[in-house]
Chains A and B, each alone.
Chain A
Amino acid sequence: MYKVIFIFCLLIFFNSVQGQLKQTKYALDSIHIHALTDKEWHKAYYLVRLRDSMAGTSTLPDLLLQKTAVFYKEYGRGMIAGISLRGTGTAHTQIVWNGIPVNSILNGQTDLNTFSPAGFSNIYIKKGGSSVSFGSGAIGGVVIFDDNLHFSPGFHLQNQSKIASFETMVNALQIENSSGKFYVKLKSQFQKSKNDYPYPGYQIKNENGAYQGIDYGLIAGYKIHKNMQWYFKSKIANWDRETSRTVYMPQNARLKTNNRYLLTGGQYKKSKFLNRFNAAWLYERYRYYFNKILPAHSDSHSQQWIIKNTSIWRLPANNKFLLGNEWQHQIGLGDHIQRHIRNNYALYAIWTKTNTHLLTRLKLRKDFSSAQVIPLTGAAEFEYKITDKHQFRGNFSRNFRLPTFNDLYWQPGGNPDLKPEESYAYEMGYDAVFASLSFHFTIFNIKSGNLIKWIPISNDFWQPVNFASVTSKGVEVSFSYKKSVSHTWHLAETIQFNYHKVSNDNTGKILPFMPKYVGNNLLSMHHKKWFFTYHFHYQGRIFTTTSNTKFLPAYQLHNLSLTFKTNRHWQVSFRIKNVLNAYYETIPSRPLPGRSYEFILNFKL
């Protein structure tokens, strides 16, 4: 029993505790559609654009939590972390790096604490099943990270240094240079923390929680002529973390992870045509040391080769057509997985028609995989403008998620007969956007079948099966208000609120580890050289049993920050997190820190 539990725990470690809604990253899709159609996208879907002066030294969970009302869980500060969109599992959110979905093919997720948000041009969150154009796993939504090429000549340098509680140091450096024809960006983020925060209310500290990580990348682009460019993008992240204890169980383990993403491609663009070609190589490795002082460890790694091509035509009568092709060669192996290879191919098309009031879009996608039969997926979307300022929108989509290599091949337990997960989603929304005020309302329903879950077959053997169908329905409301009180006083306020009810269709019970309510409030004030923010995050209670008898209580977080901009070059910030020193957990028995402090120095050239 214990052994399997242990192995299981390893799996869980990289997965959502509850349902092991693990997912495979897989078919992808046309990345930079928004390069051409950014505006339409932006309006048609509820899309949050993240930008933050402190992004350089932030962790991704920090950033997402501040800007959006997402459900988030973390196995202790700096440990494995994931988010859940629209009541789906943490593996149902696809992380898209420069157009390439990068969720692990081994466990289906991206550990947000090892994915530094530093130095990206844009970070978007796009919720909902219309993410069909990103292929497998994008059931709840996608988080998109872009490194754009800036060919206007100039040199930029930015360095951010952070000192924070629990002996935490972060440094993020970014250098950009463009000659007009040649663009290059170098970015790095280094983090180190002793992370020995006390567990509030207990006489114990997070004594096995130290971490250290470096994340760096090189972006280069060359403008061959005015219609054609070549680029190279990379992101390399190496992390070494001890694994936090729980309140009742000490830990002595350590997890080392390595991720390498390399991408090269080119773009050809004319007034009515765009073609983009990408070739990417993704590598990941996990090494888990049960006892950090011993050399013995469990090792697994994967590689992916990806080639994709996207063409977009602007046609007469406001029609637009996109055709994408994509091929993936995936290899996974490790101490618990024999070497397995999977080849996937996807062909997809998107047709958009714009009239004065009505925009319609149709998406179709067919995937072929050497391991699985994947159904035809697609989406139909519309957006109806009542006036300039009001619109209705809606979409219906079918999505899928491939089983991961762990689900299929983990020894013992892997089940090669698993079918892909499938989901049908629809949403309806209303948007009102005025000069100082905006309001968004969305109602959604996602019905997922064949969900993959590791279940006990006997008391010493667990196996993943396609076990249940789950319905997630809910409402998302967001409201923002901007006001310039005087010439020097500016104010902005954003409130977001999500309600989702996620229930097992067979038992009628609420799925464990899924809150019903999540709320977020961000108030910012700007006076001359001073910036002040007040951030409030609410997460409702979470059941921890399938019988809905036990739960983690709801919690509230209050964070404050104050920034002073001395001049064009220098800026200092001070932040207090969890001001009220609230006790909170997102995973049972794993408290997150009480009140803590951050000091950030920002230099820009």
Chain B
Amino acid sequence: MKKINLLLLFSLFVGLTACEKTKIDENTGAFDKGIFVVNEGQFMHGNASLSFTDEKLSQVENDIYKSVNHVDLGDQAQSIGFAGDNAYIVVTGSNKIEVTKANTMEKVVTIASGLTNPRYFETISSSTALVSCWGDPSVTTDDYLAIVNTNSNEVTGQIPVELGPEKMVKNTDYLFVAHQGAWGTNHKVSVYDLILKQITNVITVGDRPNSMVIKGNFLWVLCGGEPSWTGNETAGQLYKIDINNNFNVVATYDFAVTEHPKFLNLDGDNLYYYLNQKVYKMPVTATTLPTGEFLTYSGNAYNMETYKGKLYITDALDYQQEGTLTGFDLSNGQVIGTQSVGLIPGDLGFHFN
């Protein structure tokens, strides 16, 4: 019986690989130009996946990691980053990073040690990247940035940081780490000096900094504030920080107490953020928050990112089915396309080599 099963399994497997081969051959270079969608998957269901689409969202290929490598991606894929020819898929629940060839998605190696609840990946040199890690989320003092050697693909060290490191942005001198607070809450941005290779400053910002952009000498930090369900609601705030002047806060923009904006992005000279099913556009020179929205989104955004004149919104729908990715043209606010992607689509990786 076992033999028969094995045989059957084997023939199935051969059949499968055969199918996949033809598929990939048809799309040579498969993933060199387009957008990776990191689908988190359901909590503890092990069904995280990757989708790939072109910038106009004219077609999509789902589950690409599995179709190339014939293994599941893991539990709760959080984000994707790139270094050299490789893509780094950060899988929080499985405490690992899957390293693949970015153009083909072929697996290179798994970085499995030294990562406890990894979140985001950011390169800081040709051979080094930092990964924000929560550590044990029930412990508030073990959060760190993992130092990853992108040649050997190993974690080579740790930099202890404040509670709940999340998104990171960098310019030539500094890497900024937003501390949203993991399972708790925080209100800090760490400054990592790329030359001194250490944390040199910790900037206090509003509650739950959730996204950042850099424009010229200024760092913009969007803080969501404490949501009402915490019982301690605070207003969202946008911080403007002067990088070259001691990281002084040069301006803060206050939202109403019940307003909790998120997904700060930059395109050209405009900031974009999301608040209650609306996308707002704000010139970096503005002295006040915009009053009217730039566009309205009919669903609930799970993530929003801009890229070269376009804006992309992911939607997890009911979190129990395939979510969607919708693109908008920033010149006119019109929808350019929408595609069904994987379960709980979150981070986007723009890959145009």
Interface of A toward B, CB cutoff 8 Å:
2-3, 5-6, 8-9, 18, 246-250, 252, 290-291, 294, 296, 411-413, 455-456, 458-461, 512, 544-547, 549-550, 580-581, 588-589
Contact = CB atoms under 8 A, between A and B. Distances in A.
Given A2-B183, A6-B183, A545-B320, A249 B46 contact: yes
B47 A461 contact: no
Contacts of B316: 456, 459
B1 A545 contact: no
Contact of A549 (B184, B318, B321): B321
B138 A250 contact: no
Identify the interface centre among B183, B320, B343: most chain A CB within 10 Å of its CB: B320
Contacts of B45: 246, 544, 588-589
Contact of A5 (B43, B72, B300, B302): B43
B257 interface: no
B227 A460 contact: yes
A411 B231 contact: yes
A587 to B, nearest CB: 8
Given A413-B229, A461-B227, A249 B138 contact: no
Interface in B25-51: 42-48
Contact of B136 (A248, A249, A291, A581): A291
A8 B320 CA distance: 14
A246 B46 contact: yes
A458 B75 contact: no
Interface string B207-236: 000000000000000000001011100000
B75 A249 contact: yes
B117 to A, nearest CB: 9
B327 interface: no
A161 B125 CA distance: 64
B93 A6 contact: no
Interface in B86-120: 91, 93-95
A392 B19 CA distance: 54
Contacts of B44: 9, 246, 249, 589
B300 A247 contact: no
Contacts of A544: 42, 45, 47
A552 B136 CA distance: 31
Nearest to B224: A460
A2 B182 contact: yes
B183 A3 contact: yes
Contact of A546 (B93, B182, B302, B318): B318
B95 A550 contact: no
Given A294-B139, A458-B227, A459-B300, 19 more contacts: A5-B43, A18-B320, A247-B46, A248-B48, A248-B72, A248-B91, A250-B95, A290-B138, A412-B230, A413-B229, A455-B318, A456-B300, A545-B322, A545-B343, A546-B318, A547-B321, A588-B45, A589-B45, A589-B46
Nearest to A253: B138
Contacts of A545: 320-322, 343
B183 A249 contact: no
Given A459-B302, A545-B343, A248 B320 contact: no
Contacts of A18: 320
Given A2-B137, A460-B227, A581-B2, A249 B93 contact: yes
B165 interface: no
16 contacts: A2-B182, A248-B75, A250-B94, A290-B137, A291-B138, A411-B229, A412-B230, A455-B318, A460-B227, A545-B320, A546-B320, A550-B47, A580-B1, A580-B2, A581-B2, A589-B45
